[in-house]
Homo-oligomer: A and B are copies of this chain.
Amino acid sequence: MTETKKSKRQDILDAAIVLFAERGYNGTTVPMIADAAKVGAGTIYRYFDHKESLVNVLFQEKLNALFEQLLKDYPTESSIREQFHHIFESIHHFAMEDTHALHFIDSHCNEIFLTKESQELFDSFIEYISNVVRVGQERGEIIVLQTEALIGVVYGAIVQILKMVRAGTIDGSSPLMDNLEDCCWNAIKAN
């Protein structure tokens, strides 16, 4: 059945992301993934050439999903503040839907086993947000400081918040998260 085929592949990916997020790529063995996916070790190699291709496929799939979430209903014509709201909400929504994905992406985005393609995809994601910041600076809505540095502040803050939500340290629901969005915006808004 082609359904089994699809589902096995997905089982492998689903099991792998949990392990990669929790133990890191190098701390995760192929048999561990096989066990968690309830699949023979050999089956993994029916769907992926190497462990490295598995992690790269996973990285790109998750990043594409995040990107998709970001682009969905993107308010191109709105104020930068509203665009910022959309970005924050998209990432938040993504992290809530897929508990491990954001942490997986963030903790693997600089690893040496990522292919050029994976790296470029990540760069293009950051670049997309950078452009928003740049426009915000031109329009006087965002302070004029090196764009990369502002991205760092906001990206670092958002990712850390969502890691803490994942860890159960803080609650990821509305009132608090709305306030935290304001905090992040306050960090970069023009005076």
Contacts and interface: CB of A to CB of B under 8 A. Distances in A.
Interface in A130-184: 143, 145-146, 148-150, 152-161, 163-164, 169-171, 176, 179-180, 183-184
Contact of A27 (B26, B150, B176, B186): B26
Contacts of A155: 160
Indicate the member of A153, A155, A169 with the most B CB atoms within 10 Å.
Answer: A153
Interface in A8-31: 22-27
Interface residues of A, number: 39
A183 B26 contact: no
A65 interface: no
Indicate the member of A146, A148, A157, A171 with the most B CB atoms within 10 Å.
Answer: A157
A118 B159 CA distance: 23
Nearest to A154: B157
Given A27-B26, A188-B183, A176 B156 contact: no
Interface of A: 22-27, 107, 111-112, 143, 145-146, 148-150, 152-161, 163-164, 169-171, 176, 179-180, 183-184, 186-189
